[in-house]
Amino acid sequence: MMPAIFNLLPEPRTALHAATPILGFITQPLRFCALLPLILGSTLGAAETPSAAKNDALKPNIVLIFVDDMGYGDISPFADKHKTPQLDRMAAEGLKLTDFYVSSVACTPSRSSLMTGCYAQRIGMGGAVVFPADKRGLNPSEITLAEMLKTAGYATGCFGKWHLGDQPEFLPTKQGFDEYEGIPYSNDMWSEAGKPKDKRNHPPLPYMKQDKVIAHIPDAASQAVLTDALSDATVSFIQRHAKEPFFAYVPLAAVHYPWFVTPARLDAAGGDVFAAQITEIDQLVGRVMETLKALAIDKNTLIFFTNDNGGGGKTFSGPLRGGKFGPDYEGHRRVPTLAWWPGGIPAGRVCEEIGTTADVLPTLASISGAAVPTDRIIDGKDISGLLLCKEGYHSHHDILYYGDGGVRQGKWKLVSILQKGELSQELYDLEKDLSEQTNLATQQPDRVKAMQARLDEHTAELKKNVRPAGLVANPKPLLPDPAGIPTLAELRKLTKP
């Protein structure tokens, strides 16, 4: 066994790429090479780590950008509402995924699913989002993407809106991230929120570095620099970890309400604050691509760009019906998604196969060589064949569940709405009617019945096999009193030239 594996050792990355223009083939060497640190560690010892590090270079670095509440049609690879040249470039040089879905909807459930490869209901994180000083959070016994990638030798960082529990036990640094900077929950859970509509009277919104509160966000000036602060933190992490495999998870608070940008950005966008936020996100993506290029690690870095649920507020769903607040029309769950990896993904591809956010964990396991947990149910599937544009690849998703509110089988889509005990069902042909305008349910009762039966089976199974959320006793606000703590705007003036 050993000699066969060691034969793969000297295969340099450049030769690998030169020899394998069809990129699906790259997955096998990557998987084999990912085993090497374990083997080297056990047979050669710590003195040989430079050799192990060399082999690590075959794994892609991963930057996972997770936007909040953006609509399917808000970026120009998907519709013409706003111009996003950097995302256009990302699509032109990479892959556009037209049929990519969130496995769970709303900030907390969606992040829970992305982090664990499971439906949020499976891990007790479905339903409501978590609030400041909530007793609930993602159970530390769950294995997150970061914990998984650490076993494959990745440095891990989270820069953004965590929203999986703000108590010390639930923070990113306790869930596999070496580094954390950002806000522990949503940017609309802040003190200003008490005026005039939100009566919850939230504690001050902290901005954190690792487990410490280093600033707070009490005003428009601090909200306006949040994306810039996260952009700086992400770029710094990439620069500091350029020589080892790294995983940067960037869950942006934008474009979730409330919308604030700097006066300069607002001017540049002709006074349209939402357009300015879309541009801000676009510029962050461009900055990450330029940073990777300057460090000469662009060819070995995957940027995966997607969004946490359908568009809310001023967003545009493009050709899709619906948005963030349901029911389960396509605009509720289908999210604009791009993948860029110049050394791994062919340029200018479009993929119409189905993928989901729960698939991200098993897929990144496949390309990094990490192992997917086998002691528990993982709902996601390895779609690396889709990501790498493998010839003839077809999605594992012969059926796709939209929570308990819908199901898709190929081109057929059932929207199932239960209201006050009344079930209404709508059937659409997505191939002919992507905008879900012509309900064919009465014409195809047998299909509706069969699809509803599959949906009911799925819902029943999910209720049966649930793991608990994390719960703490006596939760407390992270920042009960902001006295002596700078605002984020002040902090940036102090620390930026």
Q: Rounded to an integer, what distance in angstroms lies between the CA atom of residue 54 and that of residue 260?
A: 44
Our finding on whether 302 is near Ca ion (CB under 5 A) is: no
CB of 67 to Ca ion, least distance (A): 9
Q: Is 328 in the site for Ca ion (CB under 5 A)?
A: no
Closest listed residue to residue 163, CA positions, set 89, 228, 66 = 66
Residue from the set 56, 69, 298, 426 that interacts with Ca ion by CB under 5 A: 69
Stretch that binds Ca ion, among 39-47, 69-77, 191-199, 334-342 (CB under 5 A): 69-77
Q: Which residue is nearest to Ca ion (CB)?
A: 107
Cα 161–374–159 angle (5° rounding)? 15
User: What is the H or E stretch that residue 18 is in?
Assistant: helix 13-19
User: Among residues 214 and 273, whose Cβ is nearest to Ca ion?
Assistant: 273
Site size toward Ca ion (CB under 5 A) is 5
Q: How far is the CB of 302 from Ca ion (least distance, A)?
A: 23
Q: Choose between 61 and 112: whose C-beta lies nearer to Ca ion.
A: 112
To which residue do tokens 């879900």 refer? 436
Burial class (CB in 10 A: 0-12, 13-18, 19+), 443: exposed
Among 33, 58, 68, 114, binds Ca ion (CB under 5 A): 68
**Cα–Cα distance for residue pair 112/138, rounded to 1 Å:** 7
Burial class of 199 by CB neighbour count within 10 A (0 to 12, 13 to 18, 19+): exposed
CB of 492 to Ca ion, least distance (A): 25
- The residue among 110 and 175 lying less far from Ca ion, judged by its C-beta, is 110
359 binds Ca ion (CB under 5 A): no
Burial of residue 173, with CB atoms counted within 10 A of its CB: 0-12 exposed, 13-18 middle, 19 or more buried? middle
Per-residue CA distances from 337 to 117, 215, 330, 383 (Å): 17, 32, 14, 14
Distance between CA atoms of 288 and 239, rounded to whole angstroms? 10
Per CB under 5 A, the segment of 60-68, 268-276, 367-375, 474-482 that binds Ca ion is 60-68
Among 74, 228, 308, 404, the residue binding Ca ion under the rule CB under 5 A is: 308
Residue 321: both structure tokens together: 């019906």
Name the residue type at position 140.
P
Between 256 and 396, name the residue whose CB sits nearer to Ca ion: 256
Q: Which of 309, 366, 368, 395 binds Ca ion (CB under 5 A)?
A: 309
Residue labelled with tokens 């934008």 = 254
The residues carrying an active-site annotation are: 107, 163
Q: How far is the CB of 310 from Ca ion (least distance, A)?
A: 9
| The pairing of beta strand 355-356 with beta strand 136-137 | unpaired
* 178 binds Ca ion per the rule CB under 5 A: no
Which of 68/330 has CB closer to Ca ion? 68
- List b or e across 233-251, with b for residues whose CB sees 16 or more CB atoms inside 10 angstroms: bbbebbeebbeebbbbbbb
Instruction: Give whichever of 56 and 69 is closer to Ca ion, judged by the CB atom.
Output: 69
Segment interacting with Ca ion, rule: CB under 5 A, options 39-47, 206-214, 303-311, 420-428: 303-311
Q: Determine, following the binding rule CB under 5 A, whether residue 228 of this chain makes contact with Ca ion.
A: no
Shortest gap between Cβ of 130 and Ca ion (angstroms)? 13
Is 139 a binder of Ca ion (CB under 5 A)?
no
Write out the binding residues for Ca ion, residues 91-130 only, by CB under 5 A: 107
* Residue with smaller CB distance to Ca ion, 34 or 125: 125
Q: Which residues bind Ca ion (CB under 5 A)?
A: 68-69, 107, 308-309
